[in-house]
Amino acid sequence: MFAQFTPDQNLKLILFAIVTAGVVLICLFFSFVAMRLGMTAFGGSRPEAPQVFGLFFEELPRITTIVFIVVSVVGLTATEVIDKGACMTLLGSIAGYILGGQRRSRKKKTDG
């Protein structure tokens, strides 16, 4: 009635479930952060809070894309769809992109 899986297939299925659970936890985390930022922005505690809330939503697509790529790469590596070298290359590229973006934003703040 049920399909019989080999131990290797069972391990891949478990790893996939762990990665899926990780994605769900990350989504919950971002929801919590957005809720807290919203409460801060519209709670009236600080006058600059609405600007911070707006900046968060300007950066949200970038953050979400980076998280999605990292989770996908780790999941594909865990299930052996891509090899470990490709995983390290992709994660290193993402780190370079993030750090390069931070350096550019700091430079803009000092220039402007």
Distance CA 2, CA 10 (A): 13
DSSP labels, 36-52: HHHHHHHTTS-TTHHHH
Owning domain of residue 11: 7-111
59-83 pLDDT, tens per residue?
Answer: 777 777 788 788 888 878 877 778 8
Query: Which amino acid does the sequence have at 12?
Result: K
Query: Domain tally for the chain?
Result: 1
Domain-embedded: residue 2: no
Whole-structure pTM value: 0.52
Residue 44 confidence (pLDDT): 59
Which of the pair, 20 or 42, is modelled with greater confidence? 20
Query: Which amino acid does the sequence have at 32?
Result: F
